[in-house]
Amino acid sequence: MTVVDGPARRRRGGRRPPTERPRRRTDTASTPRRAWTPTGPARPGAWYFGVPATALGLWGGPVDGGLAVAVGVAFGCVLWLGNEVASELADAAGAAYDEGLRAMLAPGDVGGWLVLLCGTLPVIAVVEEFLFRAAAIGATGATLPVSPWALAVVSSVAFALGHGAQGRVGVVVTGALGFVLAAGFVLTGSFLVVVVAHYLVNALEFLVHEGVGLPDPVWA
Report d(CA 103, CA 80) in Å as an integer: 17
Whether 160 and 170 have beta carbons less than 8 Å apart is answered as no
Residue 93 near residue 86 (C-beta atoms within 8 A): no
Residues 6+ positions from 35 with CB-CB distance below 8 Å: none
**Per-residue confidence at 95, pLDDT binned at 50, 70, 90?**
confident
The pLDDT assigned to 35 comes to 39
> Out of 100-109, 121-130, 177-186, which region has the weakest mean confidence (pLDDT)?
100-109
- Do 211 and 113 touch, CB atoms closer than 8 A? yes
Mean pLDDT of the chain: 82
Buried/exposed 115-125: b ≥16 CB within 10 Å, e otherwise: ebbeeebbeeb
Q: Identify the pLDDT of residue 48.
A: 52
Output the pLDDT for position 16. 54
Residue 153 burial by Cβ neighbours in a 10 Å radius (0-12, 13-18, 19+): middle
What φ, ψ does residue 179 adopt, rounded to 5°? -70, -40
The answer to whether residue 5 scores a pLDDT higher than 60 is no
Gyration radius from the chain CA atoms = 33
The set of residues, in sequence order, having a beta carbon less than 8 Å from that of 190 and lying 6+ positions away, is 57, 61, 62, 63, 64, 68, 71, 72
Contact 206, 122 (CB under 8 A): no
Quick one: pLDDT at residue 24? 57
Q: Per residue in 107-152, pLDDT tens? A: 999 999 999 999 999 999 999 999 999 999 999 999 999 999 999 9
CA-to-CA distance for 27 and 22, rounded, in angstroms?
A: 15
Least confident of 6-20, 150-164, 198-212: 6-20
Q: How confident is the model at residue 38 (pLDDT cuts 50, 70, 90)?
A: very low
> What are the two backbone dihedrals, phi and then psi, of residue 216, each rounded to the nearest 5 degrees?
-120, 110
Q: How confident is residue 42, by pLDDT bands cut at 50, 70 and 90? A: very low
Entry pTM: 0.77
Question: Treating both helix axes as pointing N-terminal to C-terminal, what angle do 191-205 and 121-129 enclose, rounded to 10 degrees?
Answer: 140
Residue in 71, 76, 51, 73 with CA at minimum distance from that of residue 188:
71
Instruction: Quick: pLDDT tens for 144-178.
Output: 999 999 999 999 999 999 887 777 888 898 999 99
Find the mean pLDDT for residues 68-77: 97
Confidence band for 101, pLDDT divided at 50, 70 and 90: confident
Mean pLDDT in residue range 26-38: 44
